[in-house]
Amino acid sequence: MKIGIVGATGAVGQELLRVLERRNFPLTELRLYASARSAGRRVTFRGKEHVVEALPEGPLPVDVVLASAGGSLSKQYAPVWAKQSIVIDNSSAWRYEDWVPLVVPEVNAHAVRGHKNLIANPNCTTAILLMGLYPLHKAFKAKRVIVSTYQSSSGAGASGMEELLEGTRAWLEERPVVNRTFAHPLPFNVIPHIDSFQDNGYTKEEMKVLWETQKIMGDYGVKVSCTAVRVPTLRVHSEAVTVEFERPVTPEAAREVLAQAPGVELVDDPANRRYPLPLSATGKFDVEVGRLRKSLVFDNGLDFFVAGDQLLKGAALNAVQIAELLLEPVAG
């Protein structure tokens, strides 16, 4: 399989390279694309130097395009690339089209079948939520879900991480803290504003969690309300989740389900201070799930906490897992 990465110099693009290496992905050729600014940059992959190319106008000479260079670029170019390649798009540009599969392999790998050369990678917060929620949904059927997020700076790409680091230095040195990527200075702050505000008062990031949870789980009856908050961490999105289920549930039964769930690491031993944390989930393929307890609000309810590396399960890892599904004859 010849692979092309569009946005190869970005935060997700860099992770895509590492994930392809870590998973020993059977690629025969790798082409790296970014803006003209980055053309000529050298990147080492599997011990060999690769040169970053300026993204050309037309189709790309690869079997699979892993695109992570923003929504407007994908909106414009994904149909062009899809003439000749299968496109796995990390942006939100195509996710809500009925004909575009939106895939978390642990949840709906089957949706890849019948793709029309364009497959969407979900929103990072949703992918991480579903790693904990979907196994419990299968076992106990979720009715209502309330999520509050703690999203890291890298959700806004490499510039978000840089703004947090530089802003922290500036704060400590008592210089002015400049914010360009975030709506407010992020160091020593939390910002309940990610993406644009909608007419209903929710942000688009919050609505994505509803729209994408329903589409990926294939259940449009489940209700989801989200408050999305940016916090001053570098990587990993954490989420506090409350779920009301149709069927009776106990924390013990939920733990048993999660202990078997692929891609989940159950980290739930509060007496020994073991629970999901951004620092322990950084760089990990598995999403940490813990703090399971019976809800004090809903009869068949559970509260829990998840932490997942959103550059990995929320982006690069999930995209590579989708590419791996394409290697399987049944999904091709």
User: Could you give the residue numbers annotated as active site?
Assistant: 124, 237
Bridge pairing between strands 42-45 and 48-54: antiparallel
Specify the residue, 79 or 270, whose C-beta has the smaller distance to ligand A2P: 79
Q: Decide if residue 91 touches ligand A2P (CB under 6 A).
A: no
Window contacting ligand A2P (CB under 6 A); options: 3-11, 98-106, 195-203, 318-326: 3-11
CB neighbours of residue 150 within 10 Å: 19
Q: Which amino acid is at 89?
A: D
Bridge pairing between strands 223-227 and 142-150: parallel
Q: How far is CA 195 from the centre of its chain?
A: 15
Q: Decide if residue 73 touches ligand A2P (CB under 6 A).
A: yes
Q: Decide if residue 69 touches ligand A2P (CB under 6 A).
A: yes
Q: Decide if residue 38 touches ligand A2P (CB under 6 A).
A: yes
Smallest gap, in angstroms, from Cβ of residue 166 to ligand A2P?
A: 15
Smallest gap, in angstroms, from Cβ of residue 271 to ligand A2P?
A: 40
Q: Decide if residue 10 touches ligand A2P (CB under 6 A).
A: yes
Q: Decide if residue 13 touches ligand A2P (CB under 6 A).
A: yes
Scanning the structure block, which residue is given the tokens 């020993």?
24
- Roughly what angle, to the nearest 10 degrees, separates helices 204-217 and 124-140? 40
Q: Decide if residue 159 touches ligand A2P (CB under 6 A).
A: yes
Closest residue to ligand A2P: CB criterion: 10
From the list 5, 12, 13, 29, the residue with the least C-alpha distance to 81 is 5
What part of residues 289-308 is at the interface with ligand A2P (CB under 6 A)? none
Specify the residue, 8 or 102, whose C-beta has the smaller distance to ligand A2P: 8
Q: Which residues contact 81 (CB under 8 A, 6 or more apart)?
A: 6, 59, 60, 65, 67, 87
| Residue from 3, 4, 11, 312 in contact with ligand A2P (CB under 6 A) | 11
CB neighbours of residue 234 within 10 Å: 15
Specify the residue, 8 or 254, whose C-beta has the smaller distance to ligand A2P: 8
Q: What distance in Å separates the CA atoms of residue 235 and residue 245, rounded to the nearest whole number?
A: 31
SS3 category, 57: coil
Q: What distance in Å separates the CA atoms of residue 177 and residue 206, rounded to the nearest whole number?
A: 27
From the list 92, 202, 94, the residue with the least C-alpha distance to 149 is 202
Q: Decide if residue 8 touches ligand A2P (CB under 6 A).
A: yes
Window contacting ligand A2P (CB under 6 A); options: 1-9, 167-175, 250-258, 268-276: 1-9
Specify the residue, 71 or 283, whose C-beta has the smaller distance to ligand A2P: 71
Binding-site residues for NADP(+): 9-12, 37-38, 154-155, 310
Binding-site residues for phosphate: 95
Residue numbers at the binding site for ligand A2P (CB under 6 A): 7-11, 13, 34-35, 37-38, 55, 69-70, 73, 157-159
